[in-house]
Amino acid sequence: MKTYQKILMIGAALSLGLLFLFPMWKIFLKAPQYPEGLELHIWVNKLGGSSESVLQNFNILNHYIGMKPIHANSFAELKFMPYIVIAFMITGVIAAFIGKRKIILAWTGMLMLGGAAGILDFYLWLVKFGTNLDPTAPIKVPGMTYVPPLLGSKTLLNFDALSLPALGSLGILLAVVLALTVYWLSGKTEKQLAAQSSKKVFAS
């Protein structure tokens, strides 16, 4: 593997650091009580929002419709996900120095599986909070659930919800694209070297 390809692979691994700098996902909510909207930020290791009072305001709405309060301590994933990301960053750099295409492909495949598992877990989290409602809630609508969309917009009674990936998620996408590019480029390099070796054999 050529030096520039190893540098690209290191870049792929380090791009996962965006998960610590920016949220992975954002959920926007508009309600009559909050016409300016609420913006929940989901990070790799915490929950936050566009202001310090966002979680409190979300939980006020949750109380009225019977959803459980949202707290970072309720999600074990936020405790171990940072270590998984760091492990991918370290192993990605190691894979770059080893320079073997099979290792690059295996790392990329594991990262894609990890990303898919994260999205599935997020979806199950949305379903859990949107369907396990308190029967004594002030606002009760028979048969109504409040599962926010995984991706896109959805109207829930008089609430408008919008769910979108944030800049942190782009770190995963960038890592996958760069790693696959390295795998493809290194394959071309190996073919070129093999062709050159064949020419030398025939020339001799």
Tell me how far apart the alpha carbons of residues 44 and 22 are, in angstroms, rounded to a whole number: 9
Listed in sequence order, the residues at least 6 apart from 126 whose beta carbon sits closer than 8 Å to its beta carbon are: 147, 148, 150
Average pLDDT value for residue range 12-34: 92
Tell me the per-residue pLDDT of 51-76, one tens digit each, with 9 for 90 and over.
778 888 888 888 888 888 888 777 88
Which amino acid, residue 104? I
Which amino acid, residue 113? L
7: left (phi over 0), alpha (psi -120 to 50) or beta: alpha
What's the confidence (pLDDT) of residue 201?
Answer: 54
Tell me the per-residue pLDDT of 156-200, one tens digit each, with 9 for 90 and over.
878 889 999 999 999 999 999 999 999 999 888 777 766 666 666
Tell me the per-residue pLDDT of 83-124, one tens digit each, with 9 for 90 and over.
999 999 999 999 999 999 999 999 999 999 999 999 999 999
